[in-house]
């Protein structure tokens, strides 16, 4: 799903629910008690989910994440745990991860679940990686080698592989394998690709919309708004702002020009492939709330 996905239908993560005997549960898992649904944003500790949970029949359900829960790039994991049912964990990617050449390690995380060797297998905690061969990768079908990254435990059987920059240095697919004597062997795959936007897209925005309104005004005043913008082919970024009745063009990409009123603290960095990091802060800081900033991928027409 996209970061800050506005379409609620695209914020849904699907999974199936089984009872303790392994039978599909048609609709009995709906209206779960508080604490039944928890989420982890890119490997953070599980917290109660703020979204909604519904059955679509035949043992299939979905969790519809809240808008705020799609703000953190990486992966969004959902855990269902309730008496009388088997615990289930599923996830979806938020934004784009493992892009070729990525050096931001927070975007180099592969979620996986690990099970014990009981019958039937159950989600397991405490999976060790003391032996290097416990965690191995194969790139584009090559022979397995010990992984250079690490296995990080989130909880309840959810883990993630914390990759390193070298893991995103070759286009294609790597297979991640976890093997240990007292746990079931686990395999998962991760695609390494280039940017695949068909149109301009706001990859990330920090801080989240409205998140500073309840903070110390002196901190909020001097906190820049930082966006990562993917421009369409042949287009350049523009940034516009409306504050009350006043309107400015903060940045004009065709001229690579920053408005003088924002020039001291606003920075535009071209990362290549049409990706720009844009940090916006007016000279002297923000002076009121109700600020509307627009990041635009566009082209100037004659």
Question: 141-176, pLDDT tens digit by residue?
Answer: 999 999 999 999 999 999 999 999 999 999 899 999
Q: How confident is the model at residue 197 (pLDDT cuts 50, 70, 90)?
A: very low
Phi first, then psi: give them for residue 277, nearest 5 degrees: -95, 125
Walk across the sheet containing 172-180 and list its strands.
Answer: 145-146, 135-139, 172-180, 183-192
Render 79-144 in DSSP notation, one character per residue.
Answer: EE--TTB--EEEEEEES--SBTT---GGG-EEEEE-BBSSSS--B-S-----SGGGEEEEETTPPP
Tell me which of 192, 217, 232 is where a domain ends. 192
In the structure encoding, which two tokens stand for residue 90, read together?
A: 């599923």
- Is the pLDDT reported for residue 215 higher than 70? no
User: Are both 40 and 160 inside the same structural domain?
Assistant: yes
Is 113 among the domain residues?
yes
- For residue 190, is pLDDT > 60? yes
Predicted pLDDT at 70: 92
Is residue 63 located within the same domain as residue 105? yes
Percent of the chain with pLDDT over 70: 92
For 208-224, what is the mean pLDDT?
A: 71
pLDDT at 198: 45
* 3 inside domain: no
Degrees (nearest 5) of the Cα angle 116, 157, 191?
105
Q: What is the pLDDT of residue 210?
A: 57
User: Has residue 19 been placed in a domain?
Assistant: yes
Residues 75 and 219 in one domain: no
Same domain (yes/no): 61, 182: yes
Asked if residue 2 is part of any domain, the answer here is no
Q: Residues 106, 182: one domain?
A: yes
As a whole number of angstroms, the distance between CA 179 and CA 30 comes to 35
Domain that holds residue 221: 201-298
* Pair 216, 208: CB distance under 8 Å: no
Q: Examine the domain organization and report whether 14 and 143 are in the same domain.
A: yes
What the block records as the tokens of 99 is 């892009």
Query: Which range is least confidently modeled, 11-20, 23-32, 41-50?
Result: 23-32
Which of 30, 165, 42 shows the shortest CA–CA distance to 92?
42
Mean pLDDT of all residues belonging to the chain: 87
Q: Residue 258 maps to which CATH number? A: 2.60.40
> Does residue 221 share a domain with residue 90?
no
User: Does some domain include residue 178?
Assistant: yes
Residue 41 has pLDDT above 70, yes or no: yes
pLDDT over 80 at 214, yes or no = no
Q: How many domains does the chain have?
A: 2
Asked if the structure places residue 1 within a domain, the reply is: no
The rounded distance, in Å, linking the Cα atoms of 17 and 37 is: 12
Say if residue 25's pLDDT is above 80: yes
Please say which residue of 160, 192, 224 terminates a domain: 192
CA distance 171 to 3: 23
Give yes or no: residues 278 and 181 share one domain.
no
94 and 145 together in one domain: yes
Whether residue 46 is contained in a domain is answered as yes
Out of 192, 209, 227, a domain closes at: 192
302: pLDDT strictly greater than 50 = no
Say if residues 76 and 41 touch (Cβ distance below 8 Å): yes
Say if residue 212 is in the same domain as residue 160: no
Residue range 203-208: mean pLDDT, rounded? 81
Q: Which pTM does this prediction carry?
A: 0.66
Q: What pLDDT is attached to residue 7?
A: 84
Q: Is 47 helix (H, G, I), strand (E, B) or coil?
A: strand
Which residue did the predictor score with more confidence, 11 or 234? Answer: 11
d(CA 129, CA 125): 12
**Residue 25 within a domain:** yes
Q: In terms of domains, do 123 and 52 share one?
A: yes
Q: What is the mean pLDDT of residues 289-293?
A: 76
pLDDT of the residue at 202: 80
- Max mean pLDDT range (83-92, 207-216, 238-247): 83-92
First-to-last alpha carbon distance for the chain, in angstroms, is 36
Distance of CA 235 to the CA centre of its chain: 26
Task: Among 206-220, 233-247, 262-276, name the one with the lowest average pLDDT.
Answer: 206-220
Same-domain status, 164 and 213: no
**More confident position, 218 or 154:** 154
Burial annotation 154-175 (CB, 10 A radius, 16+ → b, else e): bebbbbbbbbeeebbeeeeebb
């Amino acid at each position: 799903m996209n970061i800050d996905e506005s379409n609620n239908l695209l914020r849904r993560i699907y999974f199936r629910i089984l009872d303790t005997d392994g039978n599909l549960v048609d609709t009995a898992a709906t209206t779960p008690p508080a604490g039944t649904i928890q989420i982890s944003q890119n490997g953070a500790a599980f917290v109660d989910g703020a979204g909604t949970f519904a059955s679509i029949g035949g043992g299939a359900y979905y969790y519809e994440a809240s808008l705020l829960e799609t703000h953190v790039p990486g992966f969004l994991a959902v855990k269902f745990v309730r008496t009388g049912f088997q615990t289930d964990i599923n996830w979806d990617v938020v934004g784009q991860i493992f892009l070729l050449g990525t050096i931001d390690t927070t975007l180099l995380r592969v979620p996986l679940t690990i099970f014990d060797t009981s019958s039937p297998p159950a989600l397991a905690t405490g999976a060790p990686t003391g032996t290097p061969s416990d965690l191995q990768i194969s790139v584009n079908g090559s022979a397995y080698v010990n992984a250079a990254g690490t296995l990080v435990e989130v909880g309840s059987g959810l883990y993630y592989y914390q990759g390193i920059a070298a893991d995103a240095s070759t286009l294609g697919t790597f297979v991640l394998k976890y093997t240990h004597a007292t746990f079931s062997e686990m395999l998962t795959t991760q695609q390494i690709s280039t940017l695949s936007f068909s149109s301009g897209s706001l990859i990330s925005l920090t801080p989240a919309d409205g998140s500073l309104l309840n903070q110390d005004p002196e901190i909020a005043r001097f906190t820049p708004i930082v966006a990562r913008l993917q421009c369409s082919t042949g287009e350049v970024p523009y940034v516009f702002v409306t504050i009350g009745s006043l309107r400015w063009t903060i940045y004009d990409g065709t001229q690579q020009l920053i408005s003088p009123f924002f020039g001291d603290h606003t920075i535009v960095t071209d990362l290549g492939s049409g990706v720009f990091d844009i940090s916006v802060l007016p000279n002297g800081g923000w002076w009121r709330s109700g600020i509307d900033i627009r990041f635009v991928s566009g082209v100037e027409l004659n």
